[in-house]
Chains A and B, each alone.
Chain A
Amino acid sequence: MTYDVCIDIGGTFTDCLVADQNGDISIFKAPTTPGEFEKGFIDVLNVAAEGFGLQPRAFIEQIALIVHGSTVSTNALVEKKTVRVGLLLNDGHQDMLVLREGPRKGAFEWKLDYPEPYVPRNLTQTVVGRIDARGKVITPLDEAGVRAAAHHFKVSGVEALAVGLLWSVVNPSHELRVAEILAEELPGIPVTLSHEINPMPREYKRVIAAAIDASIRPIVQTYIKRLETALTSGGFHGELLLANCIGGMMPLSEMLQKPIYSVMSGPTLAPMAALALSDEPDIIVGDMGGTTFDVSALRGHQLIITPDSMIHDDSLGIPKVDVRSVGAGGGSIASVDIGGLLHVGPQSAGARPGPACYGQGGLAPTVTDANVVLGIVDPDYFLGGKMKLDTDAAIAAVSQIASALGIGVQEAAWSIYTTANHNMVSAIEEITVREGLNPRESFFVCGGGATAIHIAEMVDILGLTSYMIPRFMAGLSAFGGLISDICREDNAVFLTSDAAFNAKGVTATLGFLTQRGTSFFDGAGVAGENRSFEFSFRGRYEFQSFEIEVPFDAPGGQVTADMLPDLVEAFHQMHERIYSIRSDNDTVEFVAWKSRAVGKRDGQDLLNSQRIAQQSGPVVPKGARQVYLGPQDGKQNLAVYDLRGLGESATVSGPCLVENETFTAYLKSDHHGAIDSQGNLQVVVGSDLVKETQE
């Protein structure tokens, strides 16, 4: 037997999904071990080995492939524990990372300090030398100035360097020469060049990406080395791939060159999973964990890539799969303000001390406490009974809210529950409406341990009519890792317009990009027939200051003049879709070009062929419990079903609870669930719809 494994390290738990060569999948969990994440990684492999009745070494030796969503770079950034970076900028532009593009603030918010730049002033140096928008050298590079800056960096003890010169995207000669000089002056110190890491005009985004990349480079390197060592000594001789934040996997060598692509990569695996689980065109993916609710979406069955993700007060700079986080998790804390309004989150009790019911010293009322008080969560069956929850502590915590609002404890718990649901709904509307998706016409795929507790009410608020609770919901991201492609994106700036279109220049640019993609495929061992390229350009109407990304077909990367009308029409259409208008008479400018190299893996599709047994006999609940369902419905005795006991085509109707070891699902009345061939719970709302799907 051989196994494919995906390990996704989250804030609280390290999830491990194992697929055997028949496509059967199992899920395992172990606590995350911050500071030495590789320990939790090995721990969960040991848990999995036990699950298969194997010695750890025997199990690990049979693993052919491990795909891994690491959180090491995200954590370093979130906790501001990155390395000392020296930053080199143009003379006259020393404040680029101070000014940004104007940081966002609230209109009436004045009790706040202006955010510090990502690289402090004493580690920011400037050098004379300037290139203009057309690539012309206006002022030659002052090489002595570069050496002086290098000297300053040396005595400052920097561990990594970033170089961000204006217009390096159209003429990289100054950045490249700076890199040569830095290599001479500071051998062994890694250097990130802005035009290599994020080749886009708009200097702040390019340079912040370079600075962030440099600041996590040694950390990612160290982690990967330690992980490789731990795996090798554990007997592993398969292949290890790392998740990137653009919806795919990279070999280690590639990630070491562009470590910024590992940032926030874990959550991007959830929409990857939804791609495989459902054929619906427009899908919302919600993943509720301990501290946050992560929401993403698929439009036309495609991932949505955003150029605007943030980390603290800065843009991440690079485009990534759009996943929004709001502070709405099981650990989110409820409070009542001076005017008597209830708030839930964004403050969180986190994993430590966690909700009051964890019995780890937490006293603040959290969403999980409310769910225990309501009876939705069974305190004796949390994580399949591995962790006992303290109901009295939950009641005591929620009582604080009850007395502040002058209502009963159950009503207070319900208020917390429904407020959290509305917070998540706002986040869902934010991403769907902004992306031109009608949330009412979308399908919903649940991910994370807590989503299924909350999904039914959210679906009703949003007006959705169908959703899915996947069998591996609690490890949805890890599932996404198991089925995702190997992929890499390359960008290059080449300015042209429909007024004077330079087809040769575009073809040369795409040739340069596909060459990079090809060597990526070579390095990743992707077979020729499994390779493909997707192209897009970033364009704008003349005098617009923001570009939009437009996909286009270019067989073999060849662009000819007679393709121009198609490119322009594609731009108009995309502009109309995003902004509701098109300007057929305006000049269209092409600014940057992108190729996405997508490689299929052998066995990647096997997972979809797995089937569970047909339901035999009547569907019988494993028990029942009292759940408070809000002021209108009051307390009701709900049937509780064990998901593991349900076969294909088994049906359950709300109001009821469905559980397995890793999650609890609450189905409202008029929500009808049916188990599909892969063991996922497919839910439709309204009785008419049930008939339609059954026909």
Chain B
Amino acid sequence: MTREYDASPDAKRRIDPFMVAVLKSRFEAIVREMSLVVMRASRSAVIKNARDFSCAILTFEHELVTVEDALPIHVMSMDMATRPLTDHFDDIEDGDIFINNCPYTGGTHHADLIMAMPVFIEGTPRFWAVALSHHADTGAPAPSTYLPFAKNIFEEGMHFPCVRLVRKGEVRDDILRIGTMRNRVPDLWLGDVHAQLGACRTGARRIEELCTRYSEQTVLDFIADWFDYGARRAAAAISALPKGTYSYSIKHDPVPGVADDGIPVNVAVHVDPEAGEIIVDARDNIDCVEGGLNLSANTATGSCRIGVFNNLDASIPHNEGAKSRVKVRLRKGCVVGEPSYPVGTSVATTNVNDRLMIAGNAVFSEMGAPYGQAESGSHLPAGVGVISGADPFKGGKTYVNQVFVGYAAGGANHGHDGWLTYCGAANAGLIQLDSVEVDESMYPILIEERGVLQDSQGAGEFEGAPAMYGLFRPIGHDMTIAYAADGTTFPPRGVLGGGDGKASLTRRIDADGSTEDLPAFAEEIIPDGSKLYFTACAGAGYGPPSRRDPQRVADTVNRGWLSQARATQDYGVAFEDGAEPGVLQVDETATDAMRKSASEKARP
């Protein structure tokens, strides 16, 4: 059963306007509380520190009601993960709870365990309370949840393809036993599952209270009005875009043995302003690859929508009504589509998926200014590598953890330079950067340098964010680091005349000063006395550099992000000393002359 959402400005209103605002904030509060339960009660660092989890409320008909503080990739197609539940079960009852982490039954990838609880009001199922957590381990053959070389699901972790974990309030220990038996950290897994159970039950209880307080009919009417509102906002935003079909291509770096030439990703968007609708078409892509880089239908669908919403007003509610204005076309058996069983999808939430989102961000630039975004940096440089070794200050005890010393930078859009602490398209600038002192107190390492790399950004009327770089070394032991630095071969490219951002780089510097550039996808040992130097990707530029406001150029130079030489060469801006020492100001006469002569030269 699917309902239509009325996007017209004079759509029927079922409840008082203030009640829409009221119930909107009540639902948001419920999801926030669910999120707090997950964050508080979970045990693994990836959930607590990196916040790799999301909560949501859907209607029982799988329509997304509310997301709050969620990672977009987790929730933009959450409906795909709950829909198979009602396909597989015809005896869903109050108190049941289901789990699903299988990309072949609507999951994102094997590490994201999606837990869904039906919410019954007066005996009728009305909502789903959903909590998704990225688990630290899923019992895959290798001790990681990102396995680019895992060809099929037999080389991945445990799959729960829509399994009833709780029956009428009773947790089924046999199901939990399956989960804990095949897991390297069963206590962590169990603790994290309990946190999700708590979140779902909290969400369900609060929704019941809401229906008691405001009446079930008012809440259901709100849902209908709320979706209409979302549809109205999205349609209004889309109707302001230029009509047409736009396409964009990008390429993931080569991965030896999986995709030796890299993986191209093509996206086309059809914009229909009259209908207030966008179709994102990702069917024109290669077939699945022999490895874990294939997307799941869930992530492919979500990422296609995320690219669109990244280009619309951020205050549009990301609910089912808004989603209904963005239709997605995928192909079965495609690397960015619906994977063919049993092909591997272990890395379906990052890497190629990031490239799909970046393409979705950038394709809007084909409409010309002011639309779209330049390409942003790709993910998993050595600055976010997993480091491990034997800690000499703790009697050789083993340490192993992911650090967040430095990560990819964002691309520019019209009106704004790129976001510096971006951390890949899937993370959308939401991941915290490590403290140098906290890292140095937890691991036997010294972070000698960590900062912003001058002149690395893509030039443009609006600049990409510059790259972050770092230099760190083990103290008194050999350190191993694993990373997957996409963007080493194919760095971010500018749009509408904007320049490219700098590529990712991984380098070992030995005690004698000799250096070796390391492969992009690798596990490397940094011996005692050597250092690891990395630069993450910089963001790319938007629009021709010649159009950049000279004052912005001066600001970037004064911030230390751009050298005076590059400013003159790329932007045709000349400077003179400002009133303050160390601050330059634009020499307007010289700049005008320089820019004029450059534009004359450019003429045919």
Residues on A facing B (Cβ under 8 Å): 92-95, 98-114, 116, 120-123, 130, 132-134, 138, 152, 155-157, 166-167, 201-204, 337-343, 405, 407, 411, 414-415, 418-419, 422-423, 425-426, 429-430, 433-434, 495, 542-546, 578-581, 583, 591, 631
Contact = CB atoms under 8 A, between A and B. Distances in A.
A95 B452 contact: yes
A419 B21 contact: yes
Contact of A121 (B26, B29, B229, B560): B560
Contacts of A167: 437, 440
Q: Is the interface of A mostly helix, strand, loop or mixed?
A: loop
25 contacts: A92-B471, A102-B423, A102-B431, A104-B430, A105-B428, A107-B72, A108-B314, A108-B428, A110-B310, A110-B314, A114-B417, A114-B465, A130-B448, A133-B440, A152-B581, A156-B580, A166-B437, A203-B437, A341-B21, A342-B18, A342-B20, A415-B21, A419-B18, A422-B25, A579-B41
Contacts of A423: 25
A427 to B, nearest CB: 10
Nearest to B195: A580
Given A93-B436, A107-B430, A581 B191 contact: yes
B310 A203 contact: no
A166 B560 contact: no
A121 B555 CA distance: 10
B45 interface: yes
B367 to A, nearest CB: 16
B451 A93 contact: yes
Contact of B420 (A99, A121, A422, A580): A99
Given A112-B416, A338-B233, A418 B18 contact: yes
Nearest to B453: A95
B450 A155 contact: no
B229 A341 contact: yes
Given A110-B413, A152-B581, A422 B419 contact: no
B569 interface: no
B36 A433 contact: yes
B305 to A, nearest CB: 11
Majority-rule SS of B interface residues: mixed
A111 B373 CA distance: 10
A122 B417 contact: no
A134 B393 contact: yes
Given A99-B451, A110-B310, A122-B583, 5 more contacts: A92-B450, A107-B72, A166-B436, A340-B232, A545-B435
Nearest to B237: A338
A423 B45 CA distance: 32
B452 A414 contact: no
Interface in B1-30: 9, 13, 16-18, 20-22, 24-26, 28-29
Contacts of A419: 18, 21-22
B328 to A, nearest CB: 17
Given A102-B433, A114-B465, A543 B580 contact: no
Interface in B421-459: 421, 423, 428-438, 440-442, 446, 448-452
Contacts of A120: 558-559
Contact of B232 (A339, A422, A545): A339
A458 to B, nearest CB: 12
Contact of A545 (B45, B318, B583): B45
A512 B70 CA distance: 45
A132 B49 CA distance: 24
A349 B43 CA distance: 45
Contacts of A122: 558, 580-583
Contacts of B434: 101, 545
Contact of A113 (B28, B416, B436): B416
Contacts of B560: 94, 121
Interface of B: 9, 13, 16-18, 20-22, 24-26, 28-29, 32-33, 36-37, 40-41, 43, 45, 48-49, 69-72, 191, 195, 198, 229-230, 232-233, 236, 309-310, 312, 314-315, 318, 373, 393, 399, 401, 410, 413, 415-421, 423, 428-438, 440-442, 446, 448-452, 465, 468, 471, 475, 558-560, 580-583
Contacts of B423: 102
A202 B442 CA distance: 12
B1 to A, nearest CB: 25
A156 B581 contact: yes
Contacts of A121: 558-560, 582
Contacts of B448: 92, 130
B449 A92 contact: yes
B33 A429 contact: yes
B445 to A, nearest CB: 9
A122 B434 CA distance: 25
B393 to A, nearest CB: 7
A370 to B, nearest CB: 11
A339 B229 contact: yes
Given A101-B433, A155-B581, A544-B45, A341 B20 contact: yes
Contacts of B309: 108
B17 A580 contact: no
Contacts of B71: 107
B437 A202 contact: yes
A201 B438 contact: yes
Contact of A111 (B32, B49, B70, B413): B413
Contacts of B436: 93, 166, 203
Contact of A138 (B26, B418, B446): B446
A341 B17 contact: yes
Nearest to B37: A580
Given A166-B436, A166-B437, A434 B36 contact: yes
B365 to A, nearest CB: 13
Which of A343, A415, A425 is packed against the most chain B CB atoms within 10 Å?
A415
Nearest to B198: A580
Contacts of A425: 25, 29
Residue of A138, A155, A339, A405 contacting most chain B CB atoms (<10 Å): A339
Nearest to B13: A340
Contacts of B433: 99-102
B91 to A, nearest CB: 32
A521 B310 CA distance: 56
A503 B25 CA distance: 50
Given A338-B233, A581-B43, A98 B21 contact: no
A112 to B, nearest CB: 6
Given A99-B433, A101-B435, A415 B17 contact: yes
B24, B393, B401, B433: residue with the most chain A Cβ atoms closer than 10 Å: B433
Contact of A93 (B9, B438, B450): B450
Contacts of A631: 16
Nearest to B361: A110
Contact of B40 (A92, A134, A580): A580
A108 B310 contact: yes
